[in-house]
Chains A and B, each alone.
Chain A
Amino acid sequence: MTDEMDMEEGGVVKKFMFVNRKAPYGTIYALESLEVVLISAAFEQDVSLAFVDDGVYQLMKNVNTDGIEMKSFSKTYRALEGYDIEKLYVEKESMEARGLTEDDLIVDVQVISQSEMGDLMNEQDVVLSF
């Protein structure tokens, strides 16, 4: 009820965080998350993306999916900027555990520690995990 009333006065902006935990291929989670994120952009919310655990692999450059006969959607992460989604956070510990550095990633991100990530999640109105 309150939300509806606020909407009429120009819309409620909530803080949404999409948490990506899984490797990009093999399951549908990463692609589904990306599509929901792109759609959510139309609602002009405060959107941020977090990449933790195997989710950091989603942002790797030079991915070749020929062998698994799936379309690579890596390049689509580069379109996020055009959708005004510019808050991308990667968990430092997850990246290091997989031997990756920022240079391996296809987009500019903010690398933050596990505890900083926890704080960030606490600030959100909605956290969606994929």
Chain B
Amino acid sequence: MPMVEVAGKSFEVDEEGYLTNLADWDENIAKYLAQEEKVEMGDDHWEIINFLREYYNEYQIAPAIRVLTKAVAKKLGPDKGNNKYLYELFPYGPAKQACKIAGLPKPTGCI
């Protein structure tokens, strides 16, 4: 497994760059992964990242995009729970890109 080093700490990632161990996650590795994905992290990005981590903690899976959109709408309101908003934050696919930055595995049912 490839390793990356961020702020003096080593992280194991898989061949697609997803963090292998969820518990390793911290803000530094999130920033590094965001940079790799060419995402500039603002408060709105962190809100979704934190939401995803809470979702994972509750259900032990990374949600498919359709499910993420619906869950965000329920928690943060329809202004944020829609494809347009989420794709603006994470242009290469919210479920895939945001999950990666959040340190989650690739979403199940991501086709």
Q: Residues of A with Cβ closer than 8 Å to B?
A: 35, 38-39, 41-42, 71-73, 75-76, 78-79, 82-83
Residues on B with beta carbons closer than 8 Å to the beta carbon of A35: 108
- Cβ-based interface call for B1 (8 A): no
Contact call A42/B111, Cβ cutoff below 8 A: yes
Given the interface contacts A82-B70, A82-B71, does A38 sit within 8 Å of B60 by beta carbon?
no
What are the 8 tightest A-B residue pairs by CB atom distance, in nearest-first order?
A79-B59, A39-B109, A38-B109, A38-B108, A82-B67, A75-B60, A76-B60, A42-B109
Q: Is the CB of A82 within 8 A of B63?
A: yes
Further contacts, 15 of them, CB under 8 A, given A41-B64, A75-B59, A75-B60 = A38-B61, A38-B64, A38-B108, A39-B108, A39-B109, A42-B66, A42-B109, A71-B60, A76-B59, A78-B58, A78-B59, A79-B67, A82-B59, A82-B71, A83-B67
C-alpha spacing A35/B111, complex, angstroms = 13
Instruction: List, in ascending order, chain B residues with CB within 8 A of A38's CB.
Output: 61, 64, 108-109
Which residues of B have CB within 8 Å of A83?
A: 64, 67, 109
Selected from B58, B60, B63, B70, the residue in CB contact (under 8 A) with A72 is B60
Q: Is A79 within 8 A of B111, CB to CB? A: no
Question: In the complex, A73 Cα to B59 Cα: how many Å?
Answer: 8
List of B residues within 8 angstroms of A42 by Cβ: 64, 66, 109, 111
A72 and chain B: residue at smallest CB distance: B60
In whole angstroms, what is the CA distance A71 to B109 when docked?
Answer: 19
Contact of A79 with B66 at beta-carbon distance under 8 Å, contacts A39-B109, A39-B111 already known: no
Interface string of B49-64 (1 = CB under 8 A from A): 0000000001111011
A11 to chain B minimum Cβ distance, whole angstroms, is: 15
Q: Report A-chain residues with C-beta under 8 Å of the C-beta of B58.
A: 75, 78-79
| A75 proximity list for chain B (CB < 8 A) | 58-60
* Measured CA separation A78–B10 after assembly (Å): 34
Contact of A76 with B61 at beta-carbon distance under 8 Å, contacts A42-B66, A82-B67, A82-B71 already known: yes
